[in-house]
Amino acid sequence: MNALPVTTAIADPASVDAAIASRFSCRAFLRDKPVPRADIEAILDVASRAPSGTNTQPWRVYVVQGASRDALVAKTCAAHDALHADPSLVAQYPEEWDYYPQKWTSPYIDRRRENGWSLYGLLGIAKGEKDKMHAQHQRNFRLFDAPVGLMFTIDRILGRGSLMDYGMFLQNIMVAARAHGLHTCPQAAWNGFSSIVLPHIGAGPDEMLVCGMSLGYADEAHPVNGFHTPREPVAGFTRWLE
């Protein structure tokens, strides 16, 4: 970018809005359509303009593709299957930070349930069909067939504010991907298997897994990509004080 940010004009505001509004959690990708490295680098470069407290820039990104991707998928799916067969193994896979609350309350639990059962309904999965639910959950660890997996880590020494900064970086990636005709799916599901992910990507002992993300070209014919979650209207979450 040659012009100073303070003087940069947005020539097409509608495209900016469209990039944000068309972002969704894509759950089916074209496995055999690779993403050019130049596109990934361009996305990460513009995403790095995300704000962070005192410009700490807490993000570290690991891009898994090809054989590395497939090996990570195989190891994680094997662990996920073992956990499904023997739930007592859950102690082997602790999550390092509390993404979700320990106790759910309304309206958050209501939205969570609506999200889950709407997705399962679209996929023809009924309540109690645990094997089907397991298979669908495992789609996370297959990266929904995306050819690119992004794994994000943060230094453990950093505080909660850096996780907020990280969220803005992740959003930048997802919005910038739209400008390249790509879609994404941010995935906290990987966090429970950080003991598999971190050694695989070569992360240091001082790094903590923040989340994973699938990146690729959406399978536009797959019905699951017709699932878009609702949003509260502005009036539902805003108070005007004058």
pLDDT digits (tens, 9 = 90+) for 71-103: 999 999 999 999 999 999 999 999 999 999 999
CB-based contacts of 51: which residues, under 8 Å, 6+ apart?
A: 165, 168
Q: How far is Cα 154 from Cα 113, in angstroms, rounded to an integer?
A: 30
For residue 62, list its beta bridge partners.
Answer: 151
- pTM over 0.85? The answer is yes
| Structural domain of 44 | 23-237
Which run of H or of E encompasses 187?
strand 183-187
Please say whether the beta carbons of 131 and 233 come within 8 A. Answer: no
3-class DSSP state for residue 23? coil
CATH number at residue 176: 3.40.109.10
Half-sphere exposure of 91 (CA within 13 A, CB side): 1
Q: Which pLDDT score, from 0 to 100, does residue 5 have?
A: 85
Q: Which pLDDT score, from 0 to 100, does residue 177 have?
A: 98
Q: Which residues of the chain have pLDDT under 70?
A: 1-3
3-class DSSP state for residue 11? coil
Task: Find the DSSP H helices in the chain.
Answer: 13-21, 37-47, 66-85, 108-122, 130-138, 160-179, 194-201, 234-237
Number of domains the chain contains: 1
Is residue 59 situated within a structural domain? yes
Q: Which pLDDT score, from 0 to 100, does residue 100 have?
A: 93
Is residue 18 situated within a structural domain? no
Q: Which pLDDT score, from 0 to 100, does residue 2 have?
A: 61
Q: Which pLDDT score, from 0 to 100, does residue 78 have?
A: 98
Q: Which pLDDT score, from 0 to 100, does residue 4 have?
A: 85
Is residue 15 situated within a structural domain? no
Q: Which pLDDT score, from 0 to 100, does residue 37 have?
A: 98
Short-list 167, 154, 139, CA closest to 61: 154
